[in-house]
Amino acid sequence: MPSLVLDHLDTYGPDHCEPLNYEQATAYTAQLTRAQYENFTVVSWLLPKRLREHFTHIYAFCRWADDLGDETGDPQRSRELLDWWRDELDRCYAGEPRHPVYVALKPTIDRFDIPRKPFDDLIDAFIQDQTVTRYKTWEQLLDYCTRSANPVGRLVLYLCNHRDEQRQRLSDATCTALQLANFWQDVRRDILERGRVYIPADVANKHQLNIELLVKAVKLDADRETDRQACPSCSNAGPTVGLRAQLPAYRATLRELVSRTWPMFEHGRSLWPMIEPDVRVDIKLFTLGGERVLRMIERADYETARRRPKLGKLAKTGLISRALIGKLLTFNTAGRLTSPDHDATTGGSSTSSA
């Protein structure tokens, strides 16, 4: 999918940034969110109206940072653009936002008293991607997730007026699990499109998986796939010999990585009864989607080096239907929001303990 962010650099980039007022900037973040987040229209039905606009501001920041880091195809250019994006963050926190995303985001930051660190951490993660393409240990990968994934969950918590460490740590567990599930789903795509491998070497070595041989095998397999598409009648079914030789070790490695990811989702579920009822369903939807990805990987016998498993329309509809039903069940006959699965230990309160 073409990047609207890169397409907009001539209008809102470092060399020229067309000024917009708050209403125009908010319309821009909403348009960007709808255009690049295919499920947002449906998810927006679930979000409480009071937060929808603020979610689009947060999403637009993340979308710009992500695309500046991933879509240029040039690490040096990405680094320059991410440095510029941090300069624009400086202007925002100095009270002088210029870029439309920051013009929209500044009132959200002020209203919810959002600290700068989550935004800086996300930019740091995208900068790290420009130079770090392999991870030696599981611990190094988890450390990366503290910057690439966990800040997003913390930003959502700030929008819900939750600032305490307990909720943040539970959110971190879910966000790290979502990031890891995405890594295990996208092994082939990350190799072919980004030149990156997020499988930690210590786990791969444990199962005799050679990462660099895997990279070569995936690239050769992709080349043959291209040839097969050019010649549908050619008999080139199945993976290449090189990739086939890697699959037993690859499956064993992915099996362990998936098994390490499941407990994080389970731990993160403890956050659900601690969140506002009208937001809880949306948080659940992210978890359910990540867990579904892990199940798909398991059903595919962990062969994500061959093809990327993805949720079909039926699976997405099922998840969203479950969420909508859950949303409806939060209303009692008087039309007031209730919390059918609210943890009694919270005393029915969803305010921050900080």
When the candidates are 3.40.50.720, 1.10.287.1260, 1.20.1250.20, 1.10.600.10, the CATH number that belongs to 133-334 is 1.10.600.10
pLDDT digits (tens, 9 = 90+) for 93-121: 999 999 999 999 999 999 999 999 999 99
Q: Cβ-count burial of 212 within 10 angstroms (0-12 exposed, 13-18 middle, 19+ buried)?
A: exposed
CB atoms within 10 A of CB 269: 15
What are the residue ranges of CATH 1.10.600.10 in the chain?
Answer: 1-131, 133-334
Question: Distance between CA atoms of 181 and 188, rounded to whole angstroms?
Answer: 13
pTM: predicted TM-score of the whole model, two decimal places = 0.86
Q: What is the pLDDT of residue 33?
A: 87
**Which pLDDT does position 49 carry in this prediction?**
87
258 close to 298: Cβ distance less than 8 angstroms? yes
- From 126, 133, 139, select the one nearest 67 (Cα to Cα): 126
CATH topology of domain 1-131: Farnesyl Diphosphate Synthase (1.10.600)
- What is the C-alpha to C-alpha distance for residues 75 and 72, in angstroms, rounded to an integer? 8
So what's the pLDDT on residue 325? 54
Q: What pLDDT was estimated at residue 35?
A: 83
* Token code pair at residue 79: 């680094």
Digitized pLDDT (tens) for each residue of the chain, 354 residues in all = 678 999 999 999 999 999 999 999 999 999 998 886 544 444 455 678 899 999 999 999 999 999 999 999 999 999 999 999 999 999 999 999 999 999 999 999 999 999 999 999 999 999 999 999 999 999 999 999 999 999 999 999 999 999 999 999 999 999 999 999 999 999 999 999 999 999 999 999 999 999 999 999 999 999 987 766 656 555 556 788 889 999 999 999 999 999 999 999 999 999 999 998 888 888 888 899 899 999 999 999 999 999 998 766 555 555 555 555 555 555 443 344 433 333 333 333 333 333
pLDDT of residue 345: 34
